[in-house]
Amino acid sequence: MIMLLLVFMYVGLFTIGGGMVAIPLILQEVVSRGWISEPTFYSMVAIAQSTPGPVGINVATYVGFEMYGIPGALIASIGFVFPSFVIVSSLASLLRKYRSSNLVIHWFYYIKAAIIGLIGYTLFKMAQVIVFHTDTYFHVEWKELVLLGVLGIIFYILRKKPWIVILIGAALGMIFL
């Protein structure tokens, strides 16, 4: 369990920009260690996205639970959150003081660009494994692509109610996939 704590402290320390940015790093760490398979990990991400709360902490909790039950979930969650808590607590007064500094403003612009790149990478990897099944062979799963398109249109129509889209997606997924 100590390794689980250290891995999620590492992920929490080097994740800037939210839970979706943590996904590639968590993927790399847990899959390379053989803790969870890549398809299982993407299923975890899908479940974490549809449950309340930030996706990063949800995935960390899920991985910890999968490995060691409730104690593992607590350890992974604490490990993921603790570095951010310490950093934000330490730097909050400095950021408040220097927030109008050109150095800080430009630093945040570069961080935003990196965050967009990491989220794009996550999207690409998830589509590669889930929709196109390139983990073993290249095969387009048309039902999943159609479901993605239908849900995209529904989300566009119901922009203010994403929870309805989640419920519709779950129902359609159970019926057609």
pTM of the model: 0.70
DSSP 100-160: T-HHHHHHHHHHHHHHHHHHHHHHHHHIIIIIS-TTTS----HHHHHHHHHHHHHHHHTTT
pLDDT over threshold 90, residue 56? no
Find the mean pLDDT for residues 58-69: 93
**Can you give the pLDDT at residue 50?**
77
The type of residue at 111 is I
User: Are the C-beta atoms of residues 122 and 20 closer than 8 Å to each other?
Assistant: yes
Find the mean pLDDT for residues 77-104: 87
